[in-house]
Amino acid sequence: MALVSATEMLKKAKEGKYAVGAFNTNNLEWTKAILKGAQESNSPVMIQTSMGAAKYMGGYQVCYDLVNDLIDSMGITVPVALHLDHGEYEDALKCIEIGYTSVMFDGSHLPFEENLEKAKDVVAKAHAKGVSVECEVGSIGGEEDGVIGSGELADPAECKAMSETGIDFLAAGIGNIHGSYPENWAGLSFDRLAEIAAVIDGKPMVLHGGSGIPLDQIQKAISLGVSKINVNTECQEVFAAATRKYIEEGKDLEGKGFDPRKLLAPGTTAVTELVKERIQWFGSNGKA
């Protein structure tokens, strides 16, 4: 199945009261792991590349070709959207040109008026090619690709203005942060989530920092309008733990255990297992 935009996928998720997992990829193994997890769960999925991960992989064209070719060679039949995560303006335009089917333009660090203006421009260019657009209001805490946000609750009036630019789904700070949550984390602000959801014309919301949020909070967020949940850190953690175990058990020293196809296999399987578990949590299994 060809790559699809995320607009329909997330509209259906919102109506059906589930969320689609958006998993960050870093390389061949992760891309295969995510696609396998989604296919085995019969679930729609979003594969996203941060700007840094795309650079690491050799550029946006490589990411696009990799995902497309794997969909073909793996016989993937579930809907897959290829999404740019936290893109600068220029990067969003580049991905639209290359064939990404969804982009996030993250102008949350810009003066708000500039964020709005650039969002409008990205929407016009993206929609002309059937590409869906996510934008962000109120920076999301934690660190991602060297960009550090202090974490905040987004202003509902700004969320309303952003939704009026024509974006397809909105990322807004509701107490969520990227990376691990600190011991003293106050949890998601459901009051703020409900306030925002009420003024954005029924658009789906995106929950960034999906790693480490307890299941009950995930489910409540979905019930209040979250339809896309980003997961990155947890995939990295399970990959690293499985790889560590393989080496600590000395398996790389047994026979041809040093072969990268063997060395990277436990981590890759761990990512697939986590993707499948999160798909169950988000309720998108069987919704392809």
List the one residue from 233, 268, 272, 284 that touches ligand 13P (CB under 6 A): 233
What secondary structure does DSSP assign to 136-155, as a single string? Answer: EES--BEEETTEEE---BPP
Contacts of 212 (CB under 8 A, 6+ apart): 180, 181, 233, 234
Question: Quick check: 169 and 202 in contact, CB under 8 A?
Answer: no
Number of chain residues interacting with ligand 13P (CB under 6 A) = 14
Stretch that binds ligand 13P, among 151-159, 188-196, 207-215, 280-288 (CB under 6 A): 207-215
CA distances from 120 to 213, 246, 249 (A): 32, 49, 54
49 sits near ligand 13P (criterion: CB under 6 A): no
Closer CB to ligand 13P, 140 or 197, in the complex: 140
- Contact between 230 and 34 under an 8 Å Cβ cutoff? The reply is no
* Shortest CB 182 distance to ligand 13P, Å: 12
Q: Kindly tell me which residue out of 43, 139, 211, 268 binds ligand 13P, with binding defined by CB under 6 A.
A: 211
Does position 25 bind ligand 13P by CB under 6 A? no
d(CA 213, CA 278): 11
Contact 175, 187 (CB under 8 A): yes
Kindly indicate which of the ranges 1-9, 121-129, 224-232, 279-287 contains the residues binding ligand 13P, using the contact rule CB under 6 A. Answer: 224-232
Contact flag: residue 96 with ligand 13P (CB under 6 A): no
Report CA torsion sign: 114, 120, 124, 130. positive
Write down the catalytic residue from 65, 72, 85, 259: 85
Does 209 help bind ligand 13P (rule: CB under 6 A)?
yes
**CB of 194 within 8 A of CB of 224?**
yes
Minimum CB separation of residue 217 from ligand 13P in Å reads: 13
Instruction: Report the residue number, 9 or 231, with the smaller CB distance to ligand 13P.
Output: 231
Cβ closer to ligand 13P: 92 or 246?
92
Stretch that binds ligand 13P, among 7-15, 110-118, 125-133, 228-236 (CB under 6 A): 228-236
Does residue 178 bind ligand 13P (CB under 6 A)? yes
DSSP three-state, residue 205: strand
Which amino acid, one-letter code, is at 21? G
Tell the smallest beta-carbon distance from residue 229 to ligand 13P (Å): 8
* Residue 232 binds ligand 13P (CB under 6 A): yes
85 included as an active-site residue: yes
CB under 8 Å to 44, separation ≥6 — which residues?
A: 9, 12, 13, 20, 38, 78, 79, 80, 81, 284, 287, 288
Range in contact with ligand 13P (rule: CB under 6 A) among 13-21, 151-159, 229-237, 242-250: 229-237
Do the bridges between strand 132-137 and strand 169-172 make them parallel or antiparallel, or are there none, so unpaired? Answer: parallel
CB closer to ligand 13P, 43 vs 230: 230
Catalytic residue ranges: 85
Residues interacting with ligand 13P, by CB under 6 A?
Answer: 24, 85-86, 178-179, 208-211, 230-234
